[in-house]
């Protein structure tokens, strides 16, 4: 079976097809079930899903815009490599957005929200040592909860579109994923929100979202064929200071 034809088996015909195909392929690429260089066929996916080629074509165009696919005229479509510069840009934008989100929440600490976030952190601890894939899903829920509570659900949807390359790195790094440290950082974010400490909340989320800068060079070195580097050279670890102390 060709890559991409076996991951879209649960399409709901009552809902728009193209977004479902896009989500299914996006998830397969982010989780590295489809890896850089894999060729995927518009016609084969259409046949496998029993749909016309139009919704598949629309999904391919959307994923190409996110940097996940390369559509090569007369040559087919392949899964793109992870653009190192796109990972850094997405991380930068995400930090800027989420720093403002936690500042909003700390300015008007909500006990119900804090209780929910603490419960989420406990769920994260429960899977920390045994199920890193589950942790990533719980991590997504945690950050989405912050955005929605701040009234920034639309901004979070924009972040989700931008951070596809970051997520590919996260799944590649599961072996050295610092889950315990990340959970502790989540706890620090919640504590700062609960105390109404705006500067501490901002520092905590910035520290948390810069963790990938420590791990990225190691991940690139372990999976060089997955990455597109601007000058072809392996990157050095990045250490970015934040207000109130260095990382």
State the pLDDT confidence band at 239, using cuts at 50, 70 and 90: low
How many domains are there within the chain? 2
Rg (CA), the chain: 19
Plot region of 63 (φ>0 → left; ψ -120 to 50 → alpha; else → beta): alpha
Among the listed residues 85, 72, 66, the one whose alpha carbon sits nearest the alpha carbon of residue 42 = 72
Domain C-terminal end among 58, 80, 102: 80
Report yes or no on 234 lying in a domain: no
Same domain, 25 and 136: no
Report yes or no on 174 lying in a domain: yes
pLDDT tens sequence across 50-70: 889 999 999 999 999 888 999
CATH number (domain holding residue 59): 1.10.10.10
Residues 164/67, Cβ–Cβ less than 8 Å:
yes
Mean pLDDT, range 194-212, rounded to an integer: 95
pLDDT given for residue 246 in this prediction: 43
Q: Is the pLDDT of residue 240 over 60?
A: no
Among the listed residues 219, 124, 242, the one whose alpha carbon sits nearest the alpha carbon of residue 165 = 219
Q: Is the pLDDT of residue 234 over 90?
A: no
Give the predicted TM-score (pTM) of the model.
0.84
List b or e across 74-96, with b for residues whose CB sees 16 or more CB atoms inside 10 angstroms: eeebbbbbbbbebbbebbeebbe
Report yes or no on 153 lying in a domain: yes
Residue 246, burial from CB neighbour count under 10 angstroms (0-12, 13-18, 19+): exposed
Q: Which residues span the domain enclosing 65?
A: 17-80
pLDDT tens sequence across 78-104: 999 999 988 999 999 999 999 999 999
CATH number (domain holding residue 160): 1.20.120.530
Say how far apart CA 101 and CA 103 lie, in whole Å: 5
Domain C-terminal end among 28, 50, 80: 80
Same domain, 200 and 188: yes
Report yes or no on 233 lying in a domain: no
Plot region of 78 (φ>0 → left; ψ -120 to 50 → alpha; else → beta): beta
């Amino acid at each position: 079976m060709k890559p991409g034809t076996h991951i879209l088996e649960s399409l709901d015909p009552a809902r728009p097809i193209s977004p479902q195909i896009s989500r299914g392929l996006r998830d397969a690429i982010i989780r590295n079930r489809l890896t850089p260089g894999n060729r995927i066929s518009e016609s084969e996916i259409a046949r496998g899903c029993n749909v016309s080629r139009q919704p598949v074509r629309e999904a391919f165009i959307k994923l190409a815009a996110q940097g996940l696919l390369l559509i090569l005229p007369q040559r087919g479509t392949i899964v793109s490599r992870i653009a190192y510069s796109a990972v850094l840009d997405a991380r930068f934008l995400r930090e800027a957005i989420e720093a403002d989100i936690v500042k909003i929440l700390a300015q008007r600490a909500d006990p119900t929200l804090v209780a929910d976030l603490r419960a989420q952190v406990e769920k994260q601890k429960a899977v920390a040592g045994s199920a890193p894939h589950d942790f990533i899903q719980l991590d997504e829920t945690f950050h989405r909860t912050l955005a929605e509570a701040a009234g920034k659900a639309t901004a979070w949807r924009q972040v989700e579109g931008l951070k596809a390359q970051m997520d590919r790195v996260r799944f590649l790094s599961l072996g050295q994923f610092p889950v315990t440290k990340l959970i502790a950082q989540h706890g620090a974010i919640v504590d700062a929100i609960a105390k109404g400490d705006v500067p501490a909340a901002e520092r905590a989320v910035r520290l948390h979202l810069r963790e990938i800068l420590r791990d990225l060079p190691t991940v690139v070195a372990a999976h060089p064929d997955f990455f597109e580097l601007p000058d072809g050279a392996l990157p050095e670890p990045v250490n970015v200071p934040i207000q109130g102390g260095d990382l």
